[in-house]
Amino acid sequence: MKLSDIAISPFIHTLRGTFRQESHRGYNQIQQFEMAEEYRKPGQFQGPTNTVEVTGESHFGSVDNEHATNEAVSHGLQQIEAKKVHWYSYLATTDFWIVLLLGQLLALCITATNTFSTFLVNYGTSIPAFQTVFMYILLSLIYLTYTLWVYGPKKYGKILLKDGWKYFILSFLDVEGNYFTVLAYRYTNLLSAQLINFWAIVVVVIISFLLLRVRYKIFQIVGILVCCGGMGILLASDHIQGTNGGAGENMVKGDLFALLGATCYGLSNVFEEWYVSKRPMYEVLSFMGMFGMIINGVQAAIFDRESFQQATWNGEVIGYLVGYTLVLAFFYSIVPFLFRIASAAFYNVSLLTGNFWGTIIGIHVFGYTIHFMYPIAFVCIIVGLTVYFVAGSVLGESKKPWLGDNQEEGIAGFGTAKLKALNMARKQGLAPTSSVENAV
């Protein structure tokens, strides 16, 4: 499915027929129990009326195995969604706490990279494009190597020829989002740049609504607004303390760069969520690393050449570059999982706590003082993140609307609703352990 088809294709609706009751001959004990009359109660899962034989020779991509997988996913989703749901149902799941903690872990990673960048600037080493190219090189070394080992050069080459342009667009948006956001801070002040970064959330919500046909619930909208309100309190406290950076060198120019960077960020987040819902995470990251290394390397050679020559180079600077690269690579490795189990919108609002964590680190590292409004703002953002998942299904946002009713267009990787449904079906004895490829 091409990216351009998302906006024009209707949802894939799978018609589920009523299963006929047949003889129990040939079924195992679990299936016989599930097809018994006393098991068929309103709202409960009904067992299948046919069996699919899966042999050791079956392989992913065969019609029979794909059909068996889709059947198993359909049954698993029915089983999960048939459970009685309360407004707090998702909040009581392990997934919610994983999502919440992952969001804050990513916010801490962003804070750590900002801290390393501050150390570099203090040493007179300001090379924003050049310092990021090492992260893309590391991603390539890890994920491109692994993907070539799994696929082989021939299969990887075919994917490159067929879908390489899509991954190039994703990488370009990601690189430019980083570049223009950093560039904006040179011309505008801190308060203005952070306010404009809210635009990334707006872009994510609008693009997800229009292209991916995501329909946000009222509590999700309220949760986003509460998070933005908490961020507003953080910015207000900075303004009160006079730590917003004062007047910028060229406010209009800087604000335009910030707006462009936030737009690229929002677009890249939505497109990456779409990619990782359909393809293995290691494949997506391998292409992002490869293309990002090329694009960012060219930009660094053009725009950072003079800064590179004037930069200070010593052991501490190299250590900060290594720390920056490792933390950012870890950040990029975790983001796809959050996109699968939650969404690009939740990811963006989770990062709003970055200012709070930055202040906590700044107290111990740079001697900052904390304003009394900061804890209030942090609590508001966490409350907003919790409200975001109120009255949702037990699957949260892992069930993606663009993948079809039974997620047949998606991959059964870590964090996906498809894998959860398959695991449920396996517990019921309705799906073989080999019914889907080993995907990440």
100: pLDDT confidence band, cut at 50, 70 and 90?
very high
Q: What is the largest CA-CA distance in the chain?
A: 81
**What is the distance between the alpha carbons of residues 410 and 275, in angstroms, rounded to a whole number?**
10
If we measure between CA atoms, which residue out of 83, 97, 266, 258 comes closest to residue 173?
266
**What pTM was estimated for this model as a whole?**
0.79
pLDDT at 146 over 90: yes
Q: What is the pLDDT of residues 370-416, one digit of tens each?
A: 777 878 888 898 999 899 988 677 788 899 999 988 898 999 888 89
Residue 433 scores a pLDDT above 90:
no
* Cβ proximity of 228 and 352 under 8 Å: yes
Average pLDDT across the chain, whole number: 79
Question: For residues 159 and 275, what is the distance between their CA atoms, to the nearest angstrom?
Answer: 13
**DSSP states along 167-194:** HHHHHHHHHHHHHHHHHHHHHS-HHHHH
